[in-house]
Amino acid sequence: MIVTGLGFFLSLALGVVCSLGQAPYHLWPLSVGSLVALFWAYRSSESRRFAAVLVFAFAYGYFGWGLRWIAEALTFFPSLPASLIPLALWGIPLVLALPHGLMAYGVRRYLPRHHASWALGAAWVVMEGIRGYLVLPFPWLFMGGIWGGTLPVLQSTALVGILGLSVAVFASVHLFIHSLKSALVTLGVWFLVAGAGYGVLHHVDRAPSLPSANASPATIALVQPSWTQDEKVMGFYTPGYQKRLLFLSAQAAQEQGARLIVWPETAIYGHQMEDPVFQNSLKTLLSGGRLLMMGVSVRETMAGEVVNMNQIWVVDEHLNRLATYTKRHLVPFGEKVPFLSSLPFVFLNQKGMPRFQSGPDEVEPLSLPGFPPASPQICYESLFSGTIVLHDARWMVNVTNDAWFGDSWGPAQHFYQARVRTIEEGLPLIRVANTGKTAVVDAKGRILQDLPMDAAGVLVAPLPVEVRRTLYSYAGLWASGVFGLFMFFLCYRVSRR
């Protein structure tokens, strides 16, 4: 019992250490080292149950520490039961970790011990896919994300995606503990991958990342109002907030010649567009043929029930709406509670949370005069590797409000995951956030310009050029799946020797 308890807490600590490889720290050696220790202990354990307990504890520490910022967002719903805070803090990691413990037990029960480590890695990747795309969905903290701060290695996602990078991590961990020879070969392969990625970055550097003003009139203003969530909840969209948006936008339009102005997620309520004073201010701002893309919170009554929609509107100088996009992927436990109808707990009612309506699955890229087709993403949607970017789009725009998460890790994790989409798709990204991180990212994941976190400001830049579309942009998750089958079959063959 003492040994089991000690093993549990040591594995829990290893999971916490592993989470430090994710943003904002990017300490990937700690992640790899903790995974090697876990997989070695898992394979070496005589008891199947104890091995499963080790994996469960590791996963609980990994998700619990890496996602602890979720609870902070719930504090902005004063009408919610207080019981939801500990539920989010301890319950969500429990729900995410429990399947890992069960799969670990199944692997040890049905496979010989020398196959245990590669099979555990394969099962973990499968769980990432199920969690990210099928069940919740919640594609956050994929293990491949530990390379988020290593741009040369991230270039491999152009071939296999972030899920494929998770495959590479777990396959490497298995090879590290299999033998000294396989460990040295694996290290050599990683050096080759990093070197190839560096070469790709160096080659693309020979061409300008941003077109000149004469070559492209597609100049965009990214407005970061930096309105805290407390201010928005207590005095939502006050005149002061409107004035800040309009003042920053006017600076960009009049002094720097921006043709498209972008405001963050839920920058205004839809009914504000009916206010004559606000209408006149917008017409003045957009005079001369400018466009405004803005995040809009829309509230409508459907079947006697108030329903919210999170949208992007694009309007011209006459306030004609040129395009509308409705958020398709709602945030679990924020905009929806998964499996709510099947949960018997009284405190899991959604009375304190507004009801959100998702948009249609089939949408077209935003078509704007003077700009190439754009693939829109609202907040959380930027996480969906291989499925969110629209075909025929030539750039991505992500509007978000990460003020919900305060000074926690949430905004940094969110930004770096959005950044990976640029490499996977070969498309540049315009990202506009209420409090940050607002940035222009090129098609190789390089941050060309950005604004400091929690600082009001405006960024004006030409639209970055796209690069040749990637293998992953065509194959999507199929590329990750084929790569996973190949790598884990290779691990299987090595384990038989």
Query: Which tokens is 265 given?
Result: 């997620």
52 neighbors 108 (Cβ within 8 angstroms): yes
Q: Is residue 214 part of a domain?
A: no
96, pLDDT greater than 50: yes
Q: Where are the beta strands (DSSP E) in 175-326?
A: 219-224, 260-262, 268-269, 291-302, 305-315, 321-326
Dump pLDDT digits (tens) for 15-74: 999 999 999 999 999 999 999 999 999 999 989 999 999 999 999 999 999 998 887 777
Q: Do 154 and 286 reside in the same domain of the chain?
A: no
Query: Which tokens is 464 given?
Result: 């970055």
Q: Which domain holds residue 375?
A: 219-464
Q: Do 400 and 454 reside in the same domain of the chain?
A: yes
The residue whose two tokens read 């398709």 is: 328
**H or E element in which residue 187 lies:** helix 180-205
Q: Do 122 and 147 reside in the same domain of the chain?
A: yes
Q: Is residue 210 part of a domain?
A: no
Mean pLDDT score across all residues of the chain: 87
Question: How far apart are the C-alpha atoms of 458 and 141, rounded to whole Å?
Answer: 30
Q: Which amino acid is at 408?
A: S
Q: 386 forms bridges with which residues in the sheet?
A: none
Q: Is residue 230 part of a domain?
A: yes
381 neighbors 391 (Cβ within 8 angstroms): no
Q: How many CA atoms lie within 13 A of 52 on its CB side?
A: 15
Q: What percent of the chain has pLDDT over 70?
A: 88
Q: Do 146 and 285 reside in the same domain of the chain?
A: no
Dump pLDDT digits (tens) for 171-192: 999 999 988 888 888 889 888 8
Which is more confidently placed, 399 or 344?
399
Question: How far apart are the C-alpha atoms of 153 and 195, rounded to whole Å?
Answer: 8
Instruction: Determine the average pLDDT of the residues in 100-115.
Output: 94
Q: Do 226 and 90 reside in the same domain of the chain?
A: no
139, pLDDT greater than 50: yes
The number of domains in the chain is 2
110, pLDDT greater than 70: yes
Which is more confidently placed, 416 or 403?
416
Q: Do 234 and 178 reside in the same domain of the chain?
A: no
Write down the pLDDT at residue 339.
Answer: 56
Q: Is residue 303 part of a domain?
A: yes
Question: How far apart are the C-alpha atoms of 280 and 353, rounded to whole Å?
Answer: 34
Write down the pLDDT at residue 212.
Answer: 40
Q: Do 368 and 487 reside in the same domain of the chain?
A: no
Q: Is residue 213 part of a domain?
A: no
292 neighbors 320 (Cβ within 8 angstroms): no
Is the pTM higher than 0.75? The answer reads: yes
Q: Do 110 and 243 reside in the same domain of the chain?
A: no
Question: How far apart are the C-alpha atoms of 88 and 494, rounded to whole Å?
Answer: 41
CATH number at residue 455: 3.60.110.10
257, pLDDT greater than 90: no
Q: Taking CA 412 as the corner, what is the angle to CA 125 and CA 147, rounded to the nearest 5 degrees?
A: 40
Instruction: Determine the average pLDDT of the residues in 89-110.
Output: 93
3, pLDDT greater than 70: no
Work out whether the CA dihedral 190, 386, 399, 143 comes out positive or negative: negative
Q: Is residue 211 part of a domain?
A: no
Query: Dihedral of the CA atoms 77, 83, 86, 88 (nearest 10)?
Result: -50
Question: How far apart are the C-alpha atoms of 396 and 21, rounded to whole Å?
Answer: 26
Q: Do 125 and 187 reside in the same domain of the chain?
A: yes
Q: Do 161 and 256 reside in the same domain of the chain?
A: no
Q: Do 300 and 398 reside in the same domain of the chain?
A: yes
Q: What is the DSSP string of 258-298?
A: -SEEE--TT-EEGGGGG-HHHHHHHHHHHTTT-EEEEEEEE
Could you give the C-alpha distances from 13 to 8, 16, 34, 170, in angstroms and in order? 9, 5, 9, 19
Q: Do 302 and 159 reside in the same domain of the chain?
A: no
231 neighbors 189 (Cβ within 8 angstroms): no
Instruction: Report helix, strand or coil for 457.
Output: strand
160 neighbors 154 (Cβ within 8 angstroms): no
Q: Is residue 469 part of a domain?
A: no
Provide CB contacts within 8 A for 211, sequence distance 6+: 218, 462, 463, 464, 465
Instruction: Determine the average pLDDT of the residues in 438-458.
Output: 94
User: What does the buried/exposed string (b/e) look like for 272-307 if buried means 16 or more CB atoms within 10 Å of the residue's CB?
Assistant: bbeeeebeebbeebbeeebbbbbbbbbeeeeeeeee
* Of 118, 132, 124, 107, nearest in space to 15 by CA: 124
Q: Is residue 163 part of a domain?
A: yes
